[in-house]
Amino acid sequence: MSLSDVSGTQISSHWQTDGRVRIYIAPNCKTSADRIELSSGTRLADMRETADLDHGFAYEEGARLPREPWRRPTKEEIQSLTVAEVPSDMATSVAVVSLPDAPHNASLEIMRGFAKSHEANLLQALRTICELGEPVQCIGPSSHPADLKTVTINHSIALYNGLHVDNWDQAGLHSRHLATNRICFNIGQDDRYFLFLPISLMGITSLLAREMGPHWEASKRYTVIGRQFMELYPDVPIIRCRLAPGEAYIAPTENLVHDGSSVGQRNGDKAFTVRGHIRLL
């Protein structure tokens, strides 16, 4: 199902209004025809994917994943998904950015060999492209195996959780637009992907409440709300945004069904994350 097809479904009015998530790509990022791709929808992780405990890559029950094949968007879909101006509402925006050329290599080396003593220098470099509103939390580096459909683990049960919603802030459902967002750099040697459903969690909740009727109650685990939406609308595509080494995404991961992906990598996935109320300059 294409984005134009989606506009003909029951979600058409919401898709076109406040719940829609747009993508901004900074001018100094590498341009590429395959920067953005769309999945064929979403699917439930199958029995093999939820039972592969021997290799440590098993998904939790109920996890949902992008459904292949991926495809490039049409010209109309690109116009629908992207914006040319720096977004003002970061609660419904995904931005792809890169540090300016001068401090670029030095900042990446700090990220790769991160030490707390270098944190101030790194944050100073980030402030050349964005405002890091308080509270700022430098989560630091993370690594994942190569060639995974999604990379995030539910550490409480040691299983991959698939497309999900973050809950660092533990904000109420109707305050998600006020939660912190994140900037996450690709500090590895290979391209990595940021995956997301292009409707905000608050938008999804509003839509489900209308669709399911007055007796529907939103789950207190917000990832489950996203799964309910994807089950009801399995043909709505996931957006896959490619990030070259040295590039980063800024995204409202507390208000967005999302994950990272290391599909196609050879050298393993490495990322560096800072959280805050981050806004592009």
Half-sphere exposure for 259 (CA within 13 Å, toward CB): 23
In a domain, 19, yes or no: yes
Identity (one letter) of the amino acid at 94? V
pLDDT of residue 227: 97
Give a yes or no: residue 260 inside a domain: yes
The CA–CA distances, whole Å, from 262 to 42, 74, 150, 170, 232 equal: 18, 24, 7, 27, 27
> Would residue 112 count as lying in a domain?
no
**For the chain, percent of residues with pLDDT exceeding 70:** 89
280 inside domain: no
Residues 84 and 64 sit within 8 Å (Cβ to Cβ): no
Predicted structure pTM score: 0.92
Q: Specify whether the CB–CB gap between 184 and 272 falls below 8 A.
A: yes
**Which pLDDT band, with edges at 50, 70 and 90, does 244 fall under?**
very high
CA distance 77 to 81: 6
Q: Does some domain include residue 124?
A: no
More confident residue, 53 or 192: 192
Q: Has residue 201 been placed in a domain?
A: yes
Our count of domains for the chain comes to: 1
Cα–Cα distance for residue pair 11/9, rounded to 1 Å: 5
Domain range for 36 is 3-102+146-266
